[in-house]
Amino acid sequence: MGAIADYGALVEAVDSQKRRLQGPPQPDLWGGDIAKRFRADPKRQMEDSFEALAELVRPDDVFVDAGGGAGRFSLPMALRCRQAINVDPSAGMGQEFEKSAAEAGIENASFVLSDWLDVDGVQGDVVLAAHVTYFVSDIQRFIAKLKGAARRRVIINLSSIAGPMLNAKLFMMVYGEEQALVPSYTHLLPALWEMGILPDVRFLPRGTFYDGVPKLPEFPQTKEDAVEVALAGVWLASQHRERADTVVREKFDELFQQDSDGFIPQWLPEVRQVLITWETGHTG
Ligand SMILES: C[S@@+](CC[C@H](N)C(=O)[O-])C[C@H]1O[C@@H](n2cnc3c(N)ncnc32)[C@H](O)[C@@H]1O
């Protein structure tokens, strides 16, 4: 099998394990509390990984964020470029995006409710897909659309261990089997090479945790909050919350270490942010 087919097979194996253990996906998996967790103040002190992205964007640019969620990247980018367009199929993410933009007084950012594979006519100078490729089985078409939409540059941002795998240890404790492997850069790069794309790859020094886990170092301060942290995120189906709550309390001392900063999660792997980027050369 080639790299593109391998990639698709991994994503399909993840989806089929989820269906088997958790039933059919909810209509808006990324809506509600999950969307709130992906929201971040557009005027916050920006992380190093954002600065690395922002260096690739010019003040005159139109910035397209494919699967941009609640605007964690596209809203602060809107403050530094001409226009930002977020294309995402989650209505819940869209609501958080609109609220966050309104509260920050950002008027040059818009939300298009659509799967990236279905959207038509969206073009920008720079096109970003951050923490989205993990979920895409038709990776070839997804990448081809990123490339087609980008007048100057495509950027793919990933965690070195795919975001949805960060809670693999909890998944194992609750579901009693290994979580199927969600692909990150080790599978994406060969797929890109197979498409004739030879990108630059940067590993950024500091990792940040998402998927239900607060950005370090905002550690939970009470045991109850710590349990909530463990139970948040898309790894757990809502109907299994009670079971998971029992498991987390039973294993609490293994899962958390308490120190003066609060309760520190022990199950999270070390990750680095990865930026994969190339120029599309549609313009000079
Ligand atoms: C882990 S979140 C990341 C959100 C945002 N990029 C960020 O880093 O904060 C994944 C997002 O990808 C979106 N998504 C999943 N599949 C997609 C697709 N085929 N096209 C566009 N967005 C997609 C989801 O709706 C969700 O908002």
Predicted local confidence at residue 49, as pLDDT: 81
**Cβ of 72 less than 6 Å from ligand 1:** yes
All domains of the chain, ordered by start, with CATH? 3-162+180-209+270-279 (3.40.50.150)
Quick check: 124 and 150 in contact, CB under 8 A? Answer: yes
Instruction: Report the separation in Å between the CA atom of 252 and the middle of ligand 1, taken as the mean of its atom positions.
Output: 31
Position 283 pLDDT exceeds 70: no
Give the nearest ligand 1 atom to 90 CA.
25
Q: Give the separation between CA 178 and CA 160, rounded to whole angstroms.
A: 19
Is the sign of the CA dihedral 96, 275, 131, 114 positive or negative? positive
Mean pLDDT score, 154-180: 96
Q: What is the pLDDT of residues 16-71, one digit of tens each?
A: 999 999 999 889 999 999 999 899 999 988 877 888 999 999 999 999 999 999 99
Predicted local confidence at residue 47, as pLDDT: 77
Position 212 pLDDT exceeds 60: no
**Cβ of 134 less than 6 Å from ligand 1:** no
CB neighbours (10 Å) of residue 243? 13
Q: Give the separation between CA 109 and CA 76, rounded to whole angstroms.
A: 10
Measuring CA to CA, which residue among 96, 251, 238, 236 is closest to residue 179? 236
Ligand 1: residue whose CA is nearest its atom 14? 67
**Cβ of 30 less than 6 Å from ligand 1:** yes
